[in-house]
Amino acid sequence: MIGIDLFAGAGGLSVGAVMAGIRVELAIDIDRHALATFRSNHIGTKIIETDIRKYKPEELPKRKEPLILFGGPPCQGFSVSNQRTRSSKNDTNWLFVEFIRIAKGIQPDWILFENVTGILETAGGQFAEQARDGMEKLGYTTNAGVLNASKFGVAQKRSRFFIVGRKGGPMPELPQPITSPEVTVSDAILDLPNLENGAQTSCLPYKMDPASPYATLLRGNLTESANHLVTRNAPLILERYKHIPPGGNWEDIPPELMANYKDRGRCHTGIYHRLHPNQPSVVIGNFRKNMLIHPFQDRGLSVREAARLQSFPDWYEFKGSIGFQQQQVGNAVPPLLAKAVFEQIIMNSSPQYGDSRKCRY
C-alpha cells in the first residue's frame, strides 16, 4: 500500500504508517522546520514544501498499488486550550476542505483523517461532521471515533479523533484497545541519561539497560540517542519544581513563590505538572505553556524524553533549535497509535472484508 501524508509535520503519522508496512511516497507541509526533521528520517519520500491550498492533485503520478491518503489538518484552532480563535471564523479550521479537495482529485482507496478531540466541540462539531460528510459524498464508507493512545501501548494519555474512509465495501473498523497494562512514564524513560537544567548535549549514551519492552522497542540496537536538550529555566522556576510531588502541579507550590501570578486561580492543572513515574504521562503539548516536570529530577523534560512518551523510535532525530524540536514533538501523533489504525486498515483491506482491491493508481 502506498501512502500520501498531508499536513505531514515532523512525521508522526508517517512513522506509524511505515511501522505498519505502508510505503509513504509523498509528504506535504508548509512548515520548513518540521519538514527538515521529516526529510532527515524518511529517506526516499518525496517532500513538497507548500501551502496545501496551492497543491494540485493532478500532479500525483499514476500508481498501480492501493493508495491511502492520510493527514491531520492544523489543530490549534480546535484545541480546548484555545478559546480566543476556537470558532468557524478561524481560517485554519477550514483546511479540512483542502483535504477533501485532494481526496476528490486522486480518489485514493483509503482515507485517514486525524485531529484533536476539540474538533468535536468547536462550532458545535460542524467541522468533524462536514469532514465526514465530504468523504461520504465522494463515495467513501466511513467510520469515526476517539482513540486514547495509552490504550494502544503509548506511555501517554492522549486522545485523538479519527475518521477512516474506504472506497466502497462495508464500514471499516477502528482498532480495539489493547487490554495489557498501560505503559508508565518510568517504563518509557528510565534508561535515558540524567540531565541538568538547560542541557545542550544532543547525543548521549544510555545510562542503563532498557527498563521495559516499550523502551526496548523504541531503543532498538542503538547504544546512544540524540535530542537530549532541556530548556534552561530560571532559578525561581527550579525552586518551584522542588515543592511538587509526582502527579502534583502548581497548587503544591508555596504562595510566596507564585507572587508574580496575579490570579493563581486561573492556572490550569497542566501548569507545573510533575509526571507520575507509575502512570502514563499527561498530554505532551506546548512545552512553554505546560512546563511538564521530570518525575525524579527538578527540570523540564528533554526533547528525547518527550519523544519517548510520544512513542517515537530513538533513531528518529528531530532537527532545528530546541524550541522547534519541542514544537514538533508536541504537535505529533503518537506513532504507535497511528500504527494501530493503519494496521486495522490493512486488515480491513484483506479479502475476507470484501474489498474489491481494484487499483486506481
As annotated, the active-site residues are: 75
Q: What is the DSSP letter of 340?
A: H
Phi, psi of 141 (to 5 degrees): -85, 130
User: Which class for 155: exposed (0-12), middle (13-18), buried (19 or more C-beta within 10 A)?
Assistant: buried
CA distance 270 to 109: 40
Going by C-alpha positions, the residue among 216, 317, 287 that lies closest to residue 10 is 317
User: Which class for 258: exposed (0-12), middle (13-18), buried (19 or more C-beta within 10 A)?
Assistant: middle
Q: How far is CA 310 from the centre of its chain?
A: 7
Crossing angle of helices 303-310/322-331, nearest 10°? 10
The region that residue 308 occupies, defined by phi over 0 for left and psi between -120 and 50 for alpha, beta otherwise, is alpha
CA distance 264 to 258: 8
In DSSP terms, 300 is beta-bridged to 293
Phi, psi of 93 (to 5 degrees): -65, -15
| CA diameter of the chain | 68
Asked whether the beta carbons of 245 and 274 are under 8 A apart, the reply is: yes
CA distance 331 to 51: 18
